[in-house]
Amino acid sequence: MGTVTLGVSIAVPEPHGSALQRSRLGFGDAAAAGIPTHVTLLPPTEVHAADRPAIEDHLSAVARAGRPFPLRLRGTDTFRPLTPVVFLRVVEGGAACDRLQERVRAAGGPLDRELSFPYHPHVTLAHGIAEDAMDIAQAELADYEAAWTVRGFALYQQDAAGVWQPCREFRFTGRTAALAGEPAHETA
């Protein structure tokens, strides 16, 4: 069956998602055409295609243990010079995102993996483009703000053209205990 590349993320809802994707394209980040606007929970991860049912079962269990939480984006920042990325900051809900991504990548689970960098929830605005274009992205959206309630997350698979395709949405059910230590509202 081979391998597939999967990712897990929280979609940025409309009208924000498509507007931010258009902005990212406008800054010259052509890769944005194939990347829905999101907060990453699991970065691109190669897995055996045959493991997909176990992965979906695992993500279903993570969703059953979760509950909705507020997420707020405000202002820009950058990972430069470490990596060429400009992003929107998650100023509320970051700790809940962190706990959620830990559950997705749980030790011994089907998506157990180490990260290349410490987890930092964010929404990418520009990646790997010219420095002056990254400066423009950071300045133009410095006052950007959006907020919504996160009610779940989604599994994506990268297709042969490099486009991320949604596979399945996992909604929080609230039927079981919330993620360990998650308060009802928080500021990250």
Domains in the chain with CATH codes: 3-171 (3.90.1140.10)
Instruction: Judge residue 70's burial from the number of C-beta atoms within 10 Å of its C-beta, 0-12 exposed, 13-18 middle, 19 or more buried.
Output: middle
pLDDT of amino acid 175 = 47
Distance CA 103, CA 152 (A): 13
For the chain, the average pLDDT equals: 92
Residues 165-169: contacts with CB under 8 Å, at least 24 apart: 166/36, 167/6, 168/56, 168/59
Cα–Cα dist 20/185, whole Å: 25
pLDDT tier for residue 174 given thresholds of 50, 70 and 90: confident
Asked if 76 and 124 touch (Cβ cutoff 8 Å), the reply is: no
- Residue 99's pLDDT band, with cuts at 50, 70 and 90, is very high
Cα–Cα distance list, 148 to 68, 92, 111 (Å): 10, 10, 27
* 99 close to 182: Cβ distance less than 8 angstroms: yes
- State the pLDDT at residue 188: 31
pLDDT attached to residue 182 = 41
Closest by CA position to 76, among listed 148, 130, 141: 141
pLDDT of residue 94 exceeding 90, the answer is: yes
pTM of the model: 0.89
**Element holding 25 (H helix, E strand):** helix 16-26
pLDDT tens, residue by residue, 105-122: 999 999 999 999 999 999
